[in-house]
Structure 1
Amino acid sequence: MATPANRRQLGQQVEQAAARWLETQGLALIASNQHAKGGEIDLIMRDGENLVFVEVRHRRRSDYGHPAETITPAKQRRIVKAARFYLHAHGLSCPCRFDVVGVTGSLPALEFDWIRAAFDAY
């Protein structure tokens, strides 16, 4: 069984791989692992005029469901709260969206499923 430190390291590697993959899709990385009171944003990227807050979810296999299915309404609220904090802290006012990247497989053979505008701020 993986230790918490190993899981955290794997999570960071998967997030970095997702960021590189999104860059090949035309997005630009602005920041990663942004912590705010009550939440964290895995990746913050720019897609044209849009600032994109990206949640990365990984499962080795999808036998028990797609990784994106693990993002509950409560998790969405925490991400939105963290995004609002980020926007306020950086004095930003721009179009935003919330994307999810579901990642399956094991390093280095990962598959990415990008869901644009996966949920809205409310």
Structure 2
Amino acid sequence: MHGNQQKGRNGEAIAVQLLKQRGYEVICLNWRHKHLEIDIIARDGDHLVFVEVKTRLSSNFGMPYEAVDWVKQGRLTRAAERYIQAHRHEGEIRFDVVSVLYSADRKSYRTELIKDAFWPD
């Protein structure tokens, strides 16, 4: 596994821990439909939550959550639509972002959970 892939997988594992600590029930990791992917699909109460995880080794180019731009939001929205169709989900949904920022020595990290990070148009 390449460095960026490993960094991403480590960030996702940290995000799963955070979500479980906050009471989320993790349903699926790395759900794919063709070229679309959702990092984590979970339940938070009666909401089906699509979670994007962004991990960075420094904040030199901004905070990790800032990388969830309108292009990424569009991809997540399309992926969520496919998941909802495939699983015939009816009910409330939400898009959350988990931001993971490692310290300079990479021995610790800071996480941030952003609920309702965005809404599709």
TM-score by length of 2: 0.90
The amino acid that maps onto 1:50 is H
Give CA deviations for 1:28-79 in whole Å, capped at 9, x if unaligned.
1010101123421000010000011000001112132111111111110100
With over 3 angstroms needed to count, the CA separation of the structure-2 counterparts of 1:86 and 1:108, relative to structure 1, is farther
1: CA distance, partners of 2:36 / 2:118: 16
* Mapping for residues 59-70 of structure 1, pairs under 5 Å: 59-70=56-67
**Aligned twin of 1:18:** 15
State the alpha-carbon separation in 2 of the partners of residues 43 and 109 from structure 1. Answer: 22
The answer (yes or no) to whether the contact 1:99–1:116 under 8 Å persists in 2 is: yes
Shift of 1:5: 2.0
The match for 1:118 is 117
Which has the larger displacement, 28-37 or 107-116? 107-116
The structure where strand makes up a greater share of residues is 1
Percent identity of the aligned residues?
38
Gaps of 5+ in 2: none
Matched residue, 1:5:
2
Partner of 2:26: 29
Structure 1 gap ranges (5+) = none
Root-mean-square deviation over aligned CA pairs: 1.5
In the TM superposition, what is the alpha-carbon distance from 1:108 to its structure 2 partner?
5.2
Q: Is residue 2:39 matched to residue 1:55?
A: no
Moved over 2 A (4+): none
1:10 positional shift:
2.2
How many pairs were matched up? 119
Tell me, in whole angstroms, the C-alpha distance in 2 between the residues paired with 1:112 and 1:45. 18
